[in-house]
Amino acid sequence: MAAASLYTADNPVFTSFCFYAALMALKMLCMSFLTGYHRVTKNSVSNPEDAKFMNTKVKLDESVERVRRAHLNDLENVVPFLIIGLLYVGTNPSASVALFFFRLFTASRMLHTVVYAIVVLPQPSRGLSYLGGQIANISMIMNILCAYSHSM
């Protein structure tokens, strides 16, 4: 497949990547709403100007902080996935292998959010779900490096 056609709707790897990238972007956007929900229901504010506006005191709540940490963890992991996945599409991988990596990453990140911020399961549940996403990203990186190492 020519390089120009790798990033089109005719390439099943690219369309799969777009789907899972959009899911991850939507999930990250939802984390902001989940943080807001916990802030309102727990009457938790972290900034003095917000406390003054709401006529309350600065008060942190563990459930708000857990959601915030899960969101930060998403930023640290989903953003690299978006870049890595886009580069990976350019290697013209097998559609089934690419789909496996995209699904593994997405499922791992969804599970990570559930066990970190929603249900709060004990370790090693969060660590294992994090590891799944890392395995997907590292595997795609290794494929990228192998695909382009011949041109160096």
Q: How many CA atoms lie within 13 A of 100 on its CB side?
A: 8
| 75 domain residue, yes or no | yes
Q: How far apart are CA 70 and CA 78, in angstroms?
A: 11
Q: How far apart are CA 42 and CA 25, in angstroms?
A: 26
Per-residue pLDDT at 150: 82
CATH code, domain with 126: 1.20.120.550
| 89 domain residue, yes or no | yes
Q: How far apart are CA 130 and CA 146, in angstroms?
A: 25
Domain count along the chain: 1
* Banded pLDDT at 1 (limits 50, 70, 90): low
User: How does pLDDT run across 73-123, given as a tens digit for each residue?
Assistant: 999 999 999 999 999 999 999 999 999 999 999 999 999 999 999 998 999
| 36 domain residue, yes or no | no
| 56 domain residue, yes or no | no
pTM metric for this prediction = 0.91
